[in-house]
Structure 1
Amino acid sequence: MTSIPLFITGDHPCSYLDGESARSAFVHPAFQITPAIYAELLKHGFRRSGNDVYAPQCRHCSACVSARIPVARFDPDRRQKRCLKKNTETHVVLKPAVFEQAHYDMYLRYQNSRHAEGSMAHAGASDYIDFLASDWCDTLFAEFSIAGELSAIAVIDRFPHAWSAVYTFFDPKFADSSPGVYAVLWQIEEARRQQREFLYLGYWIKNCRKMAYKSDYQPLQLYIDQVWRDFPGL
């Protein structure tokens, strides 16, 4: 048994739901996280942002629900099959999670195209890599290219039983190729090929368009009342 110290943030405006306040439980920064400990925390609804590991701990809301795909049972729908067909020539290379200028430049283009109102649209180079990478986790950048041109990056944490999809960003010029969808589909298939059991997708939020898309990937499991449940059984 390992005792993990947590601290609770103060209330602040929710980033996902208008009019709601939010707070989080963070693993205390003095505690030394390891990949094995984080793998267990993932199973209990935690996520990481950079080196920080957290879970929602809101007073009056439970809309953020941890989601994962049991990859052996995943079956793409017609739209996802069309996305796979469009990306038959997309090339993927796994790289260390380190700063590259081309990645950072694309990250800024993506943020300014999709999330121009957010603080990450003006992230400096250190803010960018501190958000995506980690000093203690086995993290990779999956680099996607179309016709030899960088099109997307998927940030992946790897564990013996699972992969965790940390974040995906892409060049807006390739939006017609659905790079965000393809990045998830590729991670599902690669995790299955490497005999992992799950792909963790972060938080599903029913009433937030940016977070509700995760229910498009079936079967989906959600962590509710400390139990993983199949999405159709809610």
Structure 2
Amino acid sequence: MTDSKEIKLYATHPHPCSYFGDREAKTIFIDPEMTPSAALYSELSRRGFRRSGNHIYRPDCKRCKDCIASRVPVNLFTPTRGQRRTIKRNADLNTKILSSPSDQSYSLYERYINGRHRDGDMFPPSKEQFDSFLGPSNAASEYVHFYLGADLVAVAVTDVLDDGLSAIYTFYDPQFSQRSLGVYGILWQISQAKSRNLSYIYLGYWIRDCQKMTYKTDYRPIELLINSRWVRLI
């Protein structure tokens, strides 16, 4: 196994920030020619790295530290009243865990981006974008398909780490927005991690002043990686 101290890191040039229109961002990522072991990928996740496609990266903005890695210790998690309602609301869904996206996945993703994220940098959606972002990768990924009867209504992409699950992305049919399927996808992964005796769900970056990213602290307790230490918020 390659030691984390031996990894080659590369940095992007400054580029427009995806979260704040008046800021520039900079990202570091591991050597794209390298295929990290499951243990190394897990260690990088504990150090605040995330995966997008086959790239494992971390923000490295000198003037801004607002992107803070987050994870939920699943054995301590207690759902709120609203989260319990979401679980009950979706009790009629059937679940299949696949090793790659089903043939229906892209059309669902396309409807999701068109219906929910027309103002984001993932619009307009394309099959090439979908494949590079969410298609099969070097990671041990699972594609959790949620069905209402025969209809695919949501997909949660999750990576299996040695100490938890990393919630990469969830997309769903916008016509079922009242079901809170994004919330349900996270709650399902928390339950799944518990059943596998894993300790955490890694939720990606919490950004206090970005409305789209503040939802992560709805899952309590949560741990934030601050100054290289995981700090627990109750």
Once the two structures are TM-superposed, the CA of residue 121 in structure 1 deviates from its matched residue by: 2.6
Counterpart in the other structure of 2:84: 81
Counterpart in the other structure of 1:155: 157
Counterpart in the other structure of 1:63: 66
SS state of the match for residue 160, structure 1?
coil
The question of whether the paired residues in 2 share the 8 Å contact of 1:17 and 1:207 is answered with: no
Counterpart in the other structure of 1:21: 24
* TM-score of the superposed pair, with normalisation by structure 1: 0.95
CA distance in 2, matches of 1:151, 1:106: 8
| 1:120-131 aligned within 5 A | 120-131=122-133
CA distance in 2, matches of 1:31, 1:95: 25
Counterpart in the other structure of 1:170: 172
The question of whether the paired residues in 1 share the 8 Å contact of 2:110 and 2:126 is answered with: no
For structure 1, the 5+ residue unaligned runs are none
What whole-Å deviation, never above 9, does each CA across 1:199-219 have from its counterpart, x for those lacking one?
100100011111100000000
Q: State the one-letter code of the partner of 2:187.
A: L
CA distance in 2, matches of 1:33, 1:123: 29
* TM-score of the superposed pair, with normalisation by structure 2: 0.95
CA distance in 2, matches of 1:132, 1:10: 24
Counterpart in the other structure of 1:144: 146
SS state of the match for residue 109, structure 1?
helix
Once the two structures are TM-superposed, the CA of residue 179 in structure 1 deviates from its matched residue by: 0.4
Deviation >4 Å, runs of 4+: none
CA distance in 2, matches of 1:166, 1:133: 12
Q: State the one-letter code of the partner of 1:133.
A: G
Q: Does 1:102 align with 2:104?
A: yes
Q: State the one-letter code of the partner of 2:217.
A: S
CA distance in 2, matches of 1:118, 1:75: 32
CA distance in 1, matches of 2:46, 2:98: 26
SS state of the match for residue 104, structure 2?
helix
SS state of the match for residue 19, structure 1?
coil
- Report which stretch shifted further, 111-120 or 174-183: 111-120
The question of whether the paired residues in 1 share the 8 Å contact of 2:114 and 2:125 is answered with: no
What is the root-mean-square deviation in Å for CA atoms of aligned residues? Answer: 1.3
Once the two structures are TM-superposed, the CA of residue 123 in structure 1 deviates from its matched residue by: 3.0
Counterpart in the other structure of 1:135: 137
CA distance in 2, matches of 1:173, 1:6: 42
Once the two structures are TM-superposed, the CA of residue 159 in structure 1 deviates from its matched residue by: 1.9
| Structure 1 pair 134–150 and aligned structure 2 pair: CA distance change class (3 A) | closer
Once the two structures are TM-superposed, the CA of residue 134 in structure 1 deviates from its matched residue by: 4.3
CA distance in 2, matches of 1:229, 1:134: 32
SS state of the match for residue 214, structure 2?
helix
For structure 2, the 5+ residue unaligned runs are none
